[in-house]
Amino acid sequence: MQSKQMLDEAPYYLKDFIMYMETIKGKSEKTVDEYFFDLRTFLRYMKVLKGQAQIDDFDNISIRDIPIEFIREITLHDLYEYLSYTLRERLNNANPRARKVSSLKSFFKYLLNKAKLIAFNPAAELDAPKKPKTLPKYLSLDESKKLLESIDGTYKYRDYAIITIFLNCGLRLSEMAGINLKDIHEDKLTVFGKGAKERTVYLNAACVNAISDYVKNERPKDGIKSPHKDALFLSRLNQRISVKTIQHIVKKHLEAAGLDTAKYSVHKLRHTAATLMYRYGHVDVRVLQEILGHTDLSTTQIYTHLDDEQLRSASMANPLSEINKK
């Protein structure tokens, strides 16, 4: 977790759940943090709902003193009360509320089946709000080329390699930061994704050349201390590059290319890679699933919908589309 101090403020069963999700289920630090924040908010609201705290001082409500007996009294109705509160008072839309439902389901399932601290699971029948389907935003082929052509500056080889890999391989932000020199074998890159799942990504000529140019012309040869020696991408301090630095790099070059940084981000480069592979490389959706490291095929299938939209737009653009029989 980001802060062990925050975890110290949690009751023992929440601490155990968080450690279980991190060490046994292999969830990422970001995911584990989200579980904790979601459940802390939930437990605070439960104290308010049961008359044990005042909502006016919500962010300072302690959850450390909540006994397991309190948890055993929580009902499905209480869970829906909480979701109503997140919508009404915290203005959470469908996506964060769906995530909170997932957190609650995982938490109560753990308490019932693993910790065996409760006799029934009130979240078993809890329904998640329906999330609106939105097509991912992505750079066009011309915009992608423009972005690459605009890269310059002190660390131009490093930045060019990072953005080239994003646009060609569709890596996640954390995966990019975590690349080690030993993970690269000629045109093969071993990637450690969500839940520490390992997959192989093949590097095309553009990626191989970009990495080679960076290592040859810019990556420091000396002065790199352990544990940063094996990191592919280094910061100006000769340390493994952080996700925040990568985000800054991408934003800087998007701006330099005249692209809207409110619309495009690091994750949109992942969308771009997937879209370009599907549209121009005619990649099978199951192959694309493996490349992107998606567990669920339905997550990958959103990129097939992009072509559906293109087909629909093409049909609507036909000059005969508005002619009706009189």
- Catalytic pick among 47, 100, 240, 270: 270
Of the candidates 146, 158, 191, the residue with the CA atom closest to the CA atom of residue 172: 191
β-strands 184-185, 188-192 pairing: antiparallel
CA distance 130 to 124: 17
Question: How many Å apart are CA 253 and CA 249, to the nearest integer?
Answer: 6
Any catalytic annotation for residue 279? no
227 preceded by cis ω (within 30°)?
A: yes
303 carries an active-site annotation: yes
Catalytic residue among 99, 156, 199, 267: 267
Considering 27, 158, 172, 240, which one is annotated as catalytic?
A: 172
Rg (CA), the chain: 24
Is 194 marked active-site?
yes
Does the annotation mark 267 as catalytic? yes
The runs of H, that is alpha helices, within the chain are 4-8, 12-23, 29-49, 68-72, 76-88, 94-109, 141-149, 156-169, 173-177, 205-217, 243-256, 266-280, 285-292, 297-300, 302-317
Q: Are the C-beta atoms of 165 and 195 separated by less than 8 Å?
A: no
**Catalytic site residue 172?**
yes
Extract long-range pairs of 109-118: CB within 8 Å, 24+ residues apart.
110/17, 110/20, 110/21, 111/13, 111/17, 111/71, 114/20, 115/13, 115/16, 115/17, 117/13, 117/68, 117/71, 117/72, 118/68, 118/71, 118/72
CA gap 55, 47 in Å, rounded: 9
Of the residues 156, 194, 199, 279, only one is catalytic, namely: 194
The answer to whether 219 is a known catalytic residue is no
Catalytic-role residue among 45, 82, 264, 303: 303
Residues noted as catalytic: 172, 194, 267, 270, 294, 303
